[in-house]
């Protein structure tokens, strides 16, 4: 196997892993919603800090 083939194989494997992870995370929407609310809360806190300062 040439180095180029190995690199292509690695890229394909990475792509497959990422796509599987994205599909899997779509099924785990509760976790995503939790993360979203955390991010929103953090954003609000940052805005409050900006206003108070």
- Banded pLDDT at 10 (limits 50, 70, 90): very high
Instruction: Report yes or no: 25 and 31 within 8 Å, Cβ to Cβ.
Output: yes
Helix axes of 3-27 and 29-52: crossing angle, nearest 10 degrees: 80
Greater confidence (26 vs 6) lies with: 6
pTM recorded for the entire structure = 0.43
12-44: pLDDT as tens digits: 999 999 998 888 777 766 655 666 666 677 777
């Amino acid at each position: 196997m040439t180095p180029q083939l190995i690199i292509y194989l690695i890229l394909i494997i990475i792509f497959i892993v990422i796509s599987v992870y994205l599909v899997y995370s779509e099924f785990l929407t509760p976790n995503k919603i939790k993360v979203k609310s955390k991010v929103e809360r953090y954003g609000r806190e940052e805005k409050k800090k900006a206003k108070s300062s």
